[in-house]
Amino acid sequence: MTDRMEFPVKVRKAAYDRSGGICECGCGVPFGKERVEYDHDIPAYHGGKPTLENCRALRWSCHKVKTAQDMQAIKKTRRIIKKQRGLTAQKATIPGSKNSHFKKKLDGTVIKR
Ligand SMILES: [Zn+2]
């Protein structure tokens, strides 16, 4: 959750060499003419470091999918942190429920609890 660190050129080059020209997501498709992108296996938001161990050379189309999945996990983490810190909006009380300040009696009169 600190500032995001991109992969240095040296790490990107090493990841590219390691890939052997094949996408490292597991799809086994060669890069071909598609743009190669470098993915944080553990997202930077979750403490992933810009090291070769955390770097994967992916085809652009595979990286797009991986990033969408990561963003879901990151958004969930943000929601949990917000809840833990008590920063979520207060839920509205349903009128007439036991949590509201008023009570409606059977004859229709409304009294304060
Ligand atoms: Zn792939």
Gap from CA of 83 to ligand 1 centroid (Å): 35
Question: Helix, strand or coil for residue 53?
Answer: helix
> Whole-angstrom Cα distance, residue 89 to residue 51?
38
Q: Is residue 80 part of a domain?
A: yes
> Is 29 inside a domain boundary?
yes
Per the structure, the complete domain to which residue 22 belongs is given by 9-102
How far is Cα 104 from Cα 90, in angstroms, rounded to an integer?
24
**How many angstroms does the Cα of residue 74 sit away from the middle of ligand 1?**
21
Residue among 38, 48, 41 nearest 9 (CA): 38
Give 46 Cα–ligand 1 centroid separation in angstroms: 22
The alpha carbon of 14 and the centre of ligand 1 are apart by a number of angstroms equal to: 18
Give the Å distance between the CA of 5 and the centre of ligand 1: 23
Question: Are the CB atoms for 40 and 6 separated by under 8 Å?
Answer: no
pTM, full prediction: 0.73
List the pLDDT tens digit at each of the 113 positions of the chain: 557 789 999 999 999 999 999 999 999 999 999 999 999 999 999 999 999 999 999 999 999 999 999 999 999 999 999 999 999 888 888 877 888 888 888 998 999 98
Residue 3 lies in a domain: no
Q: Work out how many domains the chain is built from and give that number.
A: 1
Is 98 domain-assigned?
yes
User: Quick check: is 109 in a domain?
Assistant: no
Q: What is the CATH number of the domain that holds 17?
A: 3.40.1800
Could you tell me if residue 43 is inside a domain? yes
Query: How far does the centroid of ligand 1 lie from the alpha carbon of residue 68, in Å?
Result: 14
CA distance 62 to 41: 13
Q: Is residue 111, in this structure, part of any structural domain at all?
A: no
